[in-house]
Amino acid sequence: MKGRLIVISGPSGVGKGTLVKRLLRECDRLKLSVSATTRKPRSEDAEGVTYFFKTKDEFRSMIENSAFMEWAIYNDNYYGTPIAPVKEKLAEGYDVLLEIDVQGAMKVMERCPDGIYIFIAPPSVETLRERLTGRGSESPEQIDKRVAAAESELELKDRYTYVVVNNVLDDAVRDVKNIIERKDSL
Ligand code: 5GP
């Protein structure tokens, strides 16, 4: 049986990373699509696990070779979903999870209207700013940029199939699992 495409997006700092890790641990049939990016690795990153880290030239040649299902520029860096591994995993019957920004999700929606699109929203923009500040990995200027990006991303949340507010992580994990499992039984 062919797997399903599940797209999770939402503003940076909303807790998508932690949520996605929990989902991958708790849902057997779910596989993560590892994106390529030109941003610098952070301490928690690992090549091929969190991202494939590329130079801008390498990324651009992947674009020319149609290697991406979608790609976007976010905070002056390229991010993209390599298409071949997604196709392979779907064909093997796994559900494939894409954790991508809103621009990317809009492009995937056009291509794959049958996908399950889940927007993870913060309880408020103030909470989001506090979480980004607490993470300590970005400068105040980068945090301002991410908050501004979040505000425009939030405007597009109604285009998603589901919106889950991440206030308490356990509740958000349960909500997303319910969505995935409900669709399973259809
Ligand atoms: P970060 O730099 O914090 O890892 O990610 C920044 C943003 O890029 C996040 O919103 C994340 O979901 C998004 N992102 C990660 N990979 C991709 C991708 O392959 N395509 C797109 N469009 N966005 C991505």
SS3 13: coil
| Residue 75 pLDDT class (50, 70, 90 cuts) | confident
pLDDT at 12 over 90: no
Amino acid in position 55: T
Q: What pLDDT is attached to residue 1?
A: 59
Q: What pLDDT is attached to residue 154?
A: 96
Task: Give the residue, by CA position, lying nearest to ligand 1 atom 15.
Answer: 100
How far is C-alpha 91 from the geometric centre of its chain's CA atoms? 21
The whole-angstrom separation of Cα 116 and Cα 112 is 9
79 CA to middle of ligand 1, Å?
6
Whether residue 3 contacts residue 89, with contact meaning beta carbons closer than 8 Å, is answered with: yes
CATH no. of 5-184: 3.40.50.300
97 CA to middle of ligand 1, Å?
13
Whether residue 36 contacts residue 186, with contact meaning beta carbons closer than 8 Å, is answered with: no
pLDDT digits (tens, 9 = 90+) for 120-171: 999 999 999 999 999 888 899 989 998 998 999 999 999 999 999 999 999 9
Domain ranges of the chain: 5-184
112 CA to middle of ligand 1, Å?
19
Q: Mean pLDDT, the chain, as a whole number?
A: 94
Q: Indicate left, alpha or beta for 165 from its phi (over 0: left) and psi (-120 to 50: alpha).
A: beta
Per the listing, tokens 């991202």 go with 51
Q: What pLDDT is attached to residue 138?
A: 84
Q: Which atom of ligand 1 is nearest to the CA of 33?
A: 19
Q: Which atom of ligand 1 is nearest to the CA of 99?
A: 12
The whole-angstrom separation of Cα 43 and Cα 45 is 6
> Within 13 Å of residue 96, how many CA atoms lie on the same side as its CB?
26
The whole-angstrom separation of Cα 105 and Cα 115 is 10
The whole-angstrom separation of Cα 83 and Cα 68 is 5
Ligand 1 pocket, 105 CB below 6 A? no
What does pTM read for this prediction?
Answer: 0.92
